[in-house]
Structure 1
């Protein structure tokens, strides 16, 4: 097959990508609405979750890497969270300028409140879906993420 023609799998995957873009936009909007009463956005909630998921305090660059996000965007969000008392900065014994981000008790309470809002929402979203289908979708998404992580940008491949 010609390199400029999509394979049947490529056509199917392109269709899924377009649906994923629409799904992502709707998930972001729904998440923003869900946590707005807590003073959060989906981006702030994601950063709080990344801090909690880390096994120890990390600098912003590491949080951004783990999230697959832009360091400058995560830094801006962390700065906002710090102003609101949801996180604090601690000295990093391994790097003088890259401070460690630590969740405050208010930040932990806010994150837990967001997660308590998420439980009924995600249960409703999963209603009627088969667990096997969800697990298959997760495996496919993980494989695609691995391919993207291993291949870099399209421009780099040209």
Structure 2
């Protein structure tokens, strides 16, 4: 294996581990209010603006089918509702209900406390730098995927 292959594999394995760690943290924060990490992710994706299921899936980097399943569960539990989409007749918009917003707000104190602990451990400057570099890595991978799809 070349040095670059080792580097790619090392980055991927670290991100996979981070993903698991973040999901465990999210589960711990969401569980006390009756949500799963996945439910919280979908709700969080639509708090500012309603989105179609495909838009949520793109934002989260998961399949449309997985988001649809979660959105249907959230709708059955009164956390989200489906609204007409002026841009697409069949692709309804997912929007949080007042109950969904209130549930996410109940996570905020524990979320803020964990964010404070993490930033205190890393330092605010390093935490910001890590966030920037992770976004750059994600953007680069997206660009490379797009180029590959164009072939």
TM range (shorter): 0.7 to 0.9
3-state SS in 1 of match to 2:81: strand
* Residues 61-70 or 104-113, more deviating: 61-70
Coordinate RMSD, CA, aligned? 2.4
Query: Could you tell me which residue of structure 1 aligns to residue 2 of structure 2?
Result: 5
Whole-Å separation in 2 of the counterparts to 1:157 and 1:51: 30
Structure 2 unpaired stretches of 5+:
none
Cα deviation, residue 123, structure 1: 1.1
The alignment status of 1:59 with 2:56, answered yes or no, reads no
What is the number of equivalent residue pairs in this alignment? 151
Q: TM-score, normalised by structure 2?
A: 0.86
The alignment status of 1:103 with 2:96, answered yes or no, reads yes
After superposition, give the CA deviation of every residue in 1:39-88 in whole Å (9 maximum; x if it has no partner): 1111111111110133xx22111121222221111111000000000011
* Residues 72-81 or 123-132, more deviating: 123-132
Q: 1:92 aligns with which of 81, 85, 92?
A: 85
3-state SS in 2 of match to 1:46: helix
Whole-Å separation in 2 of the counterparts to 1:156 and 1:66: 18
Q: 1:129 aligns with which of 111, 122, 130?
A: 122
Whole-Å separation in 2 of the counterparts to 1:137 and 1:123: 15
Q: 2:17 aligns with which of 16, 22, 28?
A: 22
The alignment status of 1:31 with 2:26, answered yes or no, reads yes
The alignment status of 1:47 with 2:31, answered yes or no, reads no
Whole-Å separation in 1 of the counterparts to 2:35 and 2:135: 28
Q: TM-score, normalised by structure 1?
A: 0.83
3-state SS in 1 of match to 2:55: helix
3-state SS in 1 of match to 2:91: strand
Structure 1 unpaired stretches of 5+:
none
* Residues 131-140 or 118-127, more deviating: 131-140
